[in-house]
Amino acid sequence: MHGQNTTTSLTEFRIKSILELEPELRRRTKKDKMKFLEVPHLPDISGGETLVEVVAPQTSKYFAEWNEDPAQFFKDRSRMLMIFLAIKAGGVGALLEKYSQLATGELLKSAISNMKEKGFGSPAAVEQMLPQAIKNAKNQVRELRSVNPEEEEAVKNCMKEIDEKLEDK
C-alpha cells in the first residue's frame, strides 16, 4: 500500500457511499470527539506512508459492519472534497492553472517585490515562507493533475448532495 498511489477512480456510486456513511460515522464517533488519535510512529514518507495510514487502524472500530477500509474511506473522502472545492473554485483546470503559476514561485516573488516597494507587511517573513509555499503549490498541482475527467464528472453530478451533507455538519 505504501509507495504507490492506491487511489481508485471516484465514481458516483463511491461518492454516494461516502456521503451515506458519513453521518453514521459522525454519530459513532461523537462520544470520542474529545479524544485524540495516537500517532504510534511518524509516517515513513520515503516509502509513501501517510498519516492517514498510520492512524487509520485506530478508527477501524467505527467502521465495523461496513466492510470499509478506514484509510481508503478517508483518502476517497479527501479526494472527493478536493475535487468538489476545485469545481466550486472554477473547475479543476482553472485551479490547476492558478496553482501552476504559484508553483513557479514567480507570482509570489512579484508579491514580495510589491511589498518591498510599497512598504507593506514583512517581506522578509514572506521570503522565508516562499520555499514551503512553492512546495505546497507543487503538491496541489500534482493532486489536481491526478484527477481524471470521469472523476470530475462524477463529483459534478453529486454537487448538490455533497453541498447538502456539508451544510448538515
For the chain, 169 residues long, give each residue's pLDDT as a single digit of tens: 343 444 568 999 999 999 999 999 988 888 888 888 888 899 998 998 888 999 888 888 889 889 899 999 999 999 999 999 999 999 999 999 999 999 998 888 898 898 889 988 888 888 899 999 999 999 999 999 999 999 999 999 999 999 998 887 6
pLDDT value of position 126: 84
Structurally, the chain folds into a number of domains equal to 1
- The reply to whether 34 falls in a domain is yes
Which residues make Cβ contacts (< 8 Å) with residue 120, sequence separation at least 6?
A: 114
pLDDT value of position 65: 87
pLDDT value of position 7: 53
Which residues make Cβ contacts (< 8 Å) with residue 141, sequence separation at least 6?
A: 96, 99, 100, 103
**CB atoms closer than 10 angstroms to residue 11:** 15
Model-level pTM?
A: 0.80
- The reply to whether 113 falls in a domain is yes
Domain that holds residue 51: 12-168
- The reply to whether 112 falls in a domain is yes
- The reply to whether 7 falls in a domain is no
- The reply to whether 6 falls in a domain is no
- The reply to whether 4 falls in a domain is no
- The reply to whether 5 falls in a domain is no
pLDDT value of position 58: 87
- The reply to whether 70 falls in a domain is yes
pLDDT value of position 11: 96
